[in-house]
Structure 1
Amino acid sequence: MSQFEKDVKDGLSRSPKYLSSKYFYDKKGDELFVQIMNMPEYYLTRAEFEIFKEQTTEIIESLGVRPDSYFELVELGAGDGTKTKELLKVLVNQGFKFDYVPVDISSNALNQLQSSLKEEMEELSVKIRKGDYFEVLESLKFTNTPKVILFLGSNIGNLEDEQAHQFMNELAAVLNSGDKLLLGVDLIKAEEVVLPAYNDKAGITKAFNLNLLSRINNELDANFDIENFTHQPEYSETTGIAKSFLVSTKAQSVKINGSGTFEFKAGEKIHTEISRKYSDEIIVKITKNTKFRLQEKLQDSKGYFADYILVRD
C-alpha cells in the first residue's frame, strides 16, 4: 500500500474526515494552482511578488550574502518560481556565486521550472531536488556551505501552530549557525479580502479542491462521484485561520479498491486545508526556542503580506 493510499484511508476513517493538502498537486492540480495564483481574488502571490520585485536590494542586504562568497539558495516548495525569479535575476546580474536548489514534491513542477530557468537565465546554476523538505535538507547539511532557505507563499500556513513550531525546530536542526531563512506569510486581515481568495467567482479553487477526489479515483481506483461534493471555505478574523472543506451533498458510500468503503452523511465535511494568517506575535510564538532569531520584516504596500528574515543562531 502506497503512502498516498495509507493517508487517504486513515483520513477518511477519522471523525471528522480529513485529507492532506499535500496531495492536491498532481499534474492537473499543479495547472489549477498556477491559475489560482493568477486570479484577481488571490492577492497572496501579487503581494509577495511586489516585495520581491520592489524590495530586491533590501532582501539581498538583509540576507547578508556577498558577491564574492559562495552560498546555496534553497527554495522549499518552489512551484513555478515566479517570485523567486525576480531575486535570481538580480543575483545573477550582479555576479553572485551561488547554486539555486529548488525543492518540491512535484516532478512536473520542478521540470517545468528548470526548463523556464534555462530559457530565461542560462548562466544560472540550478540543481533541482525532488522529495521531502527535511530529507533534502539533511543531505545538504554536511556541506558546511552557507545556506539561504526560501519558504514562500505562506506555505507554512498549511500547518497548525504547534506543527509550525515543530517544523521550525526541525528546520533549525538541519541548518548551521549563520544560515538564513526567508519566511513568507500572509497577514491577518478582513474577511472580505481573505475569503474570496479561496472561493473565486470563476470556480478555479473549487475545481482545485475537487481535483483531489479525481486523483483518488484515478490513482487508487475509487468511485467518488465528484458531482456529489462541493467546495466550502471558511475564515475567522478572530483566529486568523482559513479552512477549506469538501462537503458531501447527500448520504452516499464511496469505495476505494483495497481500502474499503467509506460512508458519508449529507452535509458531512472532509477537511482538506488550513491556511493560517499571521501577526508578529504568532511568528514569535512559532519560532520561540527554535534557534531562529528574527532579523527583518518586509511588507507589500497594502500590508497584506510579509517576508520575515530569520537567522539561525
Structure 2
Amino acid sequence: MPGPGPTIADIARAAEVSTATVSHALNGTGRLGEGTRRRVRETAAALGYGAHRGPRTRTLGVAVTTYAGSAWDFAGVAYFSRLLTAATSAAHAHGYALTTLPADRGAEPLWHTLAVDGMLLLDSPDGDRVLRALRARGLPVVFDGRPTDPRPDDVWVDNDHAATTREVLDHLAASGARRIALHSGYGHEFYTGAVTSAYAQWCAEHGRRARVVVFDPEDAAGRAFDAAFAAPDRPDAVYSVYDPGGRQVLAAAARHGIRTPRDLLLVCASEDPAYETSDPSVTTVTLRPERIAVTAVSALVTLIESGHVESPGQRTVAAGLRVRASSLPPDMY
C-alpha cells in the first residue's frame, strides 16, 4: 500500500527551510522572497505533495474557518453545535468517521497533514488559509455557506439569505416598524455580506433609512446601540443576524428604558432554544443546520467516492421564520 505522502516537514528538509516557511509558501502568506516561495512550491510538487492522498481513511474532516486562527469556542454556538452533531450522525450513516478541527492557529499543521478523505468547511471567508492548504493537497471540499470566490466545480450548501432577509423585513414592516436597524457587519464570510446587501436594497426600495449597527461578540451589554437608542429617530425594530445579538439588543433596550415589543420589535437569527422561553419570547430565524449538515455530508461523500457531483454549485436549504412575541404588533402582545 502507498504511504500517506510527504508532510510539510519533509518539504522543509528537502528545501532546506523551516516548516513555517513551507506553510507560508504553500498558503501564499508571509514575507518571503519570490525565489524562496517558488523553490518551496517546486520542491513540494517534486515530492508529490497534494498529488496523492494515500489509501482511503473513511474519515471526514470539518472546520469552522470564519475566524480561523482565533481561539474561539464555535462549538458553544447553537448553530455550529447542532450542525456538528447532525454532521457526525450523517457521516456515520455513510460509514465515515468525522474529525472536527480546532480554530486556533496552533492547529495549522493539521490543515496540511490531517488524514482525511475530504473536508467540510463552514463559513469560509475571503483569503481562507485552511482552504488554500486543502486545495494544495487536492482534497475534496464541500462548503457550508457560499465560498467568496467559488470555482466552477465547487459545491456548497446554503440558505437564500436575500429572500430570508426580505421576509424578516417585510414581517417587521407589517408589524408597524418604520425604522429598522440591522445588527451585522462583523464577519467577512458570504452570509454577512449577503444579508447586509439585501437589507440595503430593501431599504432603498421602500424609502427607508439604512442603519447598520456593528456587532461585537464581546459586547454583552449592547453598548453598540447606545448612540442609536439615544437618538430622536431611534430604531423601532432590529434584525440581529448573529446568535448572541438578540440578547445584546434586549440588554441595551432595558438600559435605555425601551420596552420590547411595545417600543422596539426584534428578530434574531439563532438556533438557541433560550429565545423561545425568554421574556418576551424572541422571534428567530432558523437556518436549519441539521438539513445543511445532511446535505453537505452527502455531497462530500459522493465527491470522494465518485470524483465528481452532478450539477455543482449551491444546494439551497430554506430558512424558517419562527414568529414570537418580540416582533408582533404591540396590541397583540
Shorter-chain TM-score bucket reads 0.3 to 0.5
Give the TM-score taking structure 1 as reference length: 0.36
Structure whose residues are more often strand by fraction:
1
Structure with the greater relative contact order (CA < 8 A, sep ≥ 6): 1 or 2?
Answer: 1
Larger Rg: 2
Give the TM-score taking structure 2 as reference length: 0.35
